[in-house]
A and B are shown apart, each in its own frame.
Chain A
Amino acid sequence: MPVTTSLARARRKVVFKRTPAALSSARMAIMENRATDLAVDEEVVSRMANPSVRGSRLPIDALYTSEPPIIDPLVTATSTAQDQTLDQCLPLLKAADCNIEYNANGVPRLHRERHIKYLETTIGNLPAPYVGADASRPWCIYWALNALSLLGADVSKFRESLIATATHMQNKTGGFGGGFGQTSHLATTYAMVLSLVIVGGESAYEVIDRRAMWKWLSSLKQPDGGFQMSLGGEVDVRGAYCAAVIISLLNIPLNLSSDSPASAAGLADLYTGLAGYVQRCQTFEGGISAKPDAEAHGHLMCHALSLGSPPANMPQKAAFLVARTSLSMVVTATGWVHAGPLIQASLRAPSQPAHDSGPQRESTPEFVSFYDREGLIRYIMSCGQDHSSKGGMRDKPSHRSDAYHTCYVLSGLTSAQHVVSAVLAEDEYVANMAWKVSPYSDPQLFDEQDRLNPTDPVYAIPQGKREEVMTYFLSKPGF
């Protein structure tokens, strides 16, 4: 039966008995916050309107420091996991950790230098226990280079090493494997191509054997429109996304090679049936799954959106920052936000036709975001950062930082710091890839020195790199 918040507390008491140490401080924090709940809002509003106010810390909106207004008393494995995460996060979100320096808005500083130092170690020489990453070294490289670029570090110093590494991992039959002598794989190829694009420059671009890449992509293309991840490998939405990114960045000819299985099945080109394949991955929840029949997953949503085929009924899920329904809160979800602006851009477009200011119009958002930017920024700065000397970003406070989370959490952060406006050319708003990224103009929670470089919402690389590589390959006729 329906319950009220007071009943909700009863449930928390049950959990409280199980793990008293973990819960006591968080519970007290909630109590305090609820007491000041109403007084907070106005002050925050006035503070936000006048960013020059400094000095003593302003109260944080209870929205970010307390439980949601409705909680069911029923305890299950899922709710227990959610409660544990909440209890780790609340003290940090409340700016109650005395080891962390918070600004006047109760937001910690970005440990920029530490993150840079940490990321550089992740592409240096790795010790033996990293053997489990032997098939995903291009990923390690991409995560580090992308995150370093967002942090404003110089990545051009890695160009020569990257060229040597990439050359070594490229197969004559097209594509890049996870390492020397490994089978080419769409995921590792995607990561390596993006890495080369991030460091940029002709010598980096020219590492890629585009003719072999075209033949290989043709051989991966499936009769159902999707892509195999590798020859004999699985077919899923990731394949569709990775292939589309590679094809568009490198200006790969779309026609299929004669030995392609898709060609034999009568498909016209590399893109044929791709949007249909992705749409078949949409679930009853509105999200996108890895394969038809499976459960919706936030990560895959981004892939689908980035393909420019926003599925029907999408707004249903658009604002939900969870990986999967009822899965415990994870910061990884924030990384997917880089695609969030796309959702906005694509949804806003039809409702605000382009007649108001000429054929090319920048949409001026009346509201800032579908998701709660303040909540995201607070979560990332407080809970997503490893505040120790190690640096790096993490999933949640109980997890260790790693390159993967550092890359995607910083992508989420920069996305929350910048607004994407679609530059419309009638209905080709995503297809022609015209968009603009710029800082939000409203008062910021974070200090200006903690602003990251903007990211490209479709390609997940620093803003501007896409244009550079596309210009380069567009100027090259054929291979």
Chain B
Amino acid sequence: MPPKNNKGGAKAKDSSAKQENDVAKTQTVFERAQAAYDLTRPPYDKEREELGGLHALSTVEKTAYANWFCTAPDELAFLSKKAQKELWKQVNETNRPLRRGQIDKPKPDQWGKDKLGRNIGDYTVQQYEQRIEKQGQLTCLKALGRSFASKRLYASKGLVDSSTGEVYTLTEEDIKAEKQRRREMAALKKDLYGEKMGPYSTDPEWDDVVPVPQMEPEGALAAIAYPEDYAESMSYLRAVMAANEYSPRCLKLTEHIISMNPAHYTVWLYRFANIQHLDIPLLDEIEWLNGVALDYLKNYQIWHHRQLLLEHYYPTIAGSPDEVKRFARSERAFIMAMFAEDAKNYHVWSYRQHLTRKLGMWENEEHGELDSIEGMIDDDVRNNSAWSHRFFLVFSNPRYATPDSHATEADPKVPAGIVDREIKYAQAKIKLAPQNQSPWNYLRGVLVKGGRELGSVQAFVEMYVQNIGNEETEQVHSSHALEQLADIYEEAGDKEKADLCWKRLGEKWDRIRLGYWEWKRRSLKAASS
């Protein structure tokens, strides 16, 4: 053991060493190299450099400098033996350090730049040591990754490990460890070089896929600065699509891309192809889809996808009325959830029409579709989408309607009772808000379908229109009623009255459509002349 006083001395020494060490840590890499370089040359060389030339040195220093300069091995060879001897003599007298030539003069940028464009030479020594350590880690991880890749290759070929005599197998743990390594490598690469490794290039599951990046041509129009995640996943999508791959990993990839860009029709179509090939249970897909649909209310692709799913799934339940009913119920429940957000969403309504046809949801007793629509019209009697669906539901019912009967032509097969019911329904709704165009259009549509004359509702229409043309007593509570009245008069051949109604529409009750009313008037005149 060292004596006590020595111990104190050692402590002092320690702390001074520590101090030196601290200085070393705050010093930059370049400064440290410069300092080391300075140790290898005489002070007058440094002085000469700093002052900008030999002229600033004293005569003695100039001589010493020239001698020192010439002691470089290459220079010495040019001197005669005698001259060399003389030179060494002088050099010894100036007591210069004999270390020249071992260190090159450092340049500030010789360590390169980091990911932020900063000179690594400007790193503190401590920072630099950390960097070196990370690079070391990365090299180790790469080596381990290579051995994983070899093992995977051997395993795929069924090779035998000669050291154990067993067939190479890749365990779940191996894969887990590799995934962990990739994550660490990605973090290190990002940290050291700013290289981004997305979730696919770091996932060993995707090692066999060579991504196809999007190379935009020079000056491309409407070019988007893609987020890295999106750009990477799209590169992998292009690759797997080109290879016609259908697999669970592709399904996951489409889900990922859809979460970033749900309007990407290509991804949706490819997703459906995967679902077909993998025979994914419909309900799983629907459940996922519901969430996406509620997140992106205006999206179109979601609803086409749902329709494709329906087409794909229906044959499997077609034989069981109960299952069809259950599916119809759950689909409608979701549709209604969508309508709670936007009761006129065109895509959802289109899907509802398709669903109604496909599942045969025509009969109210069985499916309650008509009740559901009535509920929506009760909520907002101006919801034209609901009216439109009702028309479809009532007049396309295959139980009685003529198949493919056009929406604007009479269908003699529709029972009179149904036509009467619909006329009454429309009239009851007109009463709630006579200027609401939807039930008026509906009423007209019903009359046409039922092959009834417009005049059959004249008394009803006249409840909303009185004394047309009489300035004092004219009353119009609905411009749609006035229009309908005009058409009733035209139908009955009462051209003057029809003309008067259109005239009054253009003059007062619906001026914004003056051009249209005038056209009606002229057409009628032209037809009669």
Known interface pairs A137-B222, A165-B217, A183-B266. Does A283 touch B388 (Cβ–Cβ under 8 Å)? yes
Nearest residue, chain B, Cβ from A321: B512
Q: Interface digits, B395-433 against A, CB 8 Å rule (1 contact, 0 not)?
A: 110000000101110000000000000000000000111
Contact between A284 and B448 (Cβ–Cβ < 8 Å)?
A: yes
Contact status B435-A290, CB under 8 Å: no
In the complex the two chains form, is A122's CB within 8 Å of B478's CB? no
Partner of A135, one of B266, B385, B395, B512: B266
Bound Cα distance from A283 to B380, whole angstroms: 21
Interface string of A164-197 (1 = CB under 8 A from B): 1101100000000111111101000000000000
What B residues does A127 contact at CB under 8 A?
Answer: 224-225
Question: A324 at the A/B interface (Cβ < 8 Å)?
Answer: yes
CA distance A438 to B459 in the complex (A): 47
Given A135-B263, A282-B408, A326-B383: A351 and B523 interface contact (C-beta under 8 Å): yes
B214 touches A122 (CB 8 A): no
Q: How distant is B294 from chain A, measured CB to nearest CB, in Å?
A: 17
User: Do residues A351 and B522 form an inter-chain contact, with CB atoms below 8 A?
Assistant: yes
| Residue B98 CB within 8 A of the other chain | no
The segment from B5-13, B31-39, B63-71, B341-349 found at the interface with A is B341-349
Residue of B nearest to A234 (CB): B304
Q: Which residues of A sit under 8 angstroms from B510, Cβ to Cβ? A: 68
B126 at the interface (CB under 8 A from A): no
CB nearest to B448 among chain A residues: A284
Q: Does B219 make an interface contact (CB < 8 A)?
A: yes
The reply on B30 being an interface residue by CB < 8 A is no
Cβ of B146 under 8 Å from chain A: no
| B353: Cβ under 8 A from any A Cβ | yes
Mask: chain B, 112-147; 1 = CB below 8 Å from A; 0 = not:
000000000000000000000000000000000000
Query: B1 in the interface, Cβ–Cβ < 8 Å?
Result: no
* Contact status B346-A134, CB under 8 Å: no
Q: How far is the CB of B379 from chain A (nearest CB, A)?
A: 7
A351 to B529, CA, bound (A): 11
C-alpha spacing A272/B525, complex, angstroms = 37
Cross-chain contact of A327 among B344, B395, B432 (Cβ < 8 A): B344
Q: Would you call A55 an interface residue if the criterion is a C-beta within 8 Å of the partner chain's C-beta atoms?
A: no
Are B435 and A284 in touch, CB under 8 angstroms? no
- Check A296/B438 contact, CB under 8 A, given A140-B222, A366-B522: no
CB atoms of A2 and B464 under 8 A apart: yes
Q: Does B445 contact A (CB under 8 A)?
A: yes
Contact between A131 and B406 (Cβ–Cβ < 8 Å)? Answer: no
Complex CA gap A161/B523 in Å reads 51
Determine whether B357 belongs to the interface, using a CB cutoff of 8 Å to chain A: yes
Contact indicator A128/B261 (Cβ below 8 Å): no
If the complex has contacts A2-B434, A72-B433, are A286 and B526 also in contact, measured as CB distance less than 8 A?
A: no
Comparing A95-103, A245-253, A368-376, the segment that makes contact with chain B is A368-376
B217 touching A324 by the CB < 8 A rule?
no
A319 touching B513 in the complex, CB below 8 Å, given contacts A76-B382, A158-B221, A325-B384: yes
Chain A contributes a number of interface residues (CB within 8 A of B) equal to: 94
CB distance from B210 to the nearest CB of A (A): 14
Tell me which residues across on chain A come within 8 A of B230, comparing CB atoms: 131, 134
Nearest to B241 among chain A residues (CB) is A181
A234 to B445, CA, bound (A): 28
| A315-349 interface code vs B (CB 8 A; 1 in, 0 out) | 10011100011110000000000000000000110
B274 at the interface (CB under 8 A from A): no
Q: How far is the CA of A297 from the CA of B379 in the complex (A)?
A: 22
| A256-299 contact mask (Cβ, 8 Å, vs B): 1 or 0 | 00000000000000000000000110111110011101111100
Option from A162, A285, A320 in Cβ contact (under 8 Å) with B513: A320
Q: In the assembled complex, how far is the CB of residue A351 from the closest CB belonging to chain B, in whole angstroms?
A: 5
Q: Is B463 an interface residue (CB 8 A)?
A: yes
B381 within 8 A of A: yes
Q: Which residues of A contact B449 (CB under 8 A)?
A: 284
Partner of B227, one of A131, A136, A319: A131
Given A2-B478, A286-B408, also A74-B266 (CB < 8 A): no
- Say whether, besides A69-B508, A285-B441, A315-B519, A351 and B526 are in contact (CB < 8 Å): yes
On chain B, the residues within 8 Å of A368 by CB distance are: 515
Check A296–B388 contact: CB distance below 8 A.
Answer: yes
Q: A133-B224, A164-B217, A294-B350 are in contact. Are A72 and B435 (CB under 8 A)?
A: yes
Cβ-based interface call for B280 (8 A): no
- Does A19 count as interface, using CB distance less than 8 angstroms? no
A320 to B517, CA, bound (A): 12
A126, B222: Cβ atoms closer than 8 Å: yes
CA distance A12 to B96 in the complex (A): 101
- The contact string, 1 if C-beta is below 8 Å from chain B, for chain A 140-158, is 1100100000000000001
A206 near B: Cβ within 8 Å?
no
B523 lies within 8 A of A168 (CB): no
Contact partner of A370 (CB less than 8 A), chosen from B383, B388, B445, B516, is B516
Q: How far is the CA of A180 from the CA of B216 in the complex (A)?
A: 8
B209 CB → nearest A CB, Å: 14
The answer to the question of B372 belonging to the interface, with a C-beta cut-off of 8 Å to chain A, is no
- The answer to the question of B471 belonging to the interface, with a C-beta cut-off of 8 Å to chain A, is no
In this assembly, does B391 line the interface, its C-beta being within 8 Å of a C-beta of chain A?
yes
Given contacts A69-B508, A131-B260, contact A78 B265 (CB under 8 A): no
> Does the CB pair A161–B445 fall under 8 Å?
no
Taking the closest CB of chain B, its distance from the CB of A135, in whole angstroms, is: 5
Does A233 lie at the interface of the complex (its beta carbon under 8 Å from any beta carbon of B)? yes
Q: Which chain B residues border A181 with CB–CB below 8 Å? A: 212, 214, 234, 237-238, 241, 266
Also in contact, A230 and B269, with CB within 8 A (given A133-B224, A372-B513):
yes
Does B60 count as interface, using CB distance less than 8 angstroms?
Answer: no
Instruction: List, sorted by A's number, 30 A–B pairs whose CB atoms are closer than 8 Å.
Output: A3-B434, A68-B510, A70-B479, A71-B435, A72-B434, A74-B381, A76-B380, A76-B381, A77-B383, A128-B226, A132-B262, A158-B221, A164-B219, A168-B216, A178-B265, A179-B214, A181-B237, A181-B241, A230-B269, A232-B273, A284-B441, A285-B441, A290-B350, A291-B353, A294-B349, A295-B385, A295-B388, A319-B515, A324-B385, A370-B513
Chain B interface residues (CB < 8 Å from chain A): 212, 214-227, 230, 234, 237-238, 241, 260-266, 269, 272-273, 304, 307-308, 343-344, 346, 349-350, 353-354, 357, 379-385, 387-389, 391-392, 395-396, 404, 406-408, 431-438, 441-442, 444-445, 448-449, 463-464, 475-479, 508-516, 518-520, 522-523, 526-527
Beyond the given A140-B222, A294-B346, please list 11 additional residue pairs across the A-B interface where CB-CB is below 8 A: A69-B479, A122-B222, A131-B261, A141-B221, A233-B304, A283-B407, A290-B346, A290-B350, A294-B349, A297-B346, A324-B344
**Top 4 nearest A-B pairs by Cβ distance?**
A284-B445, A2-B477, A319-B516, A78-B382
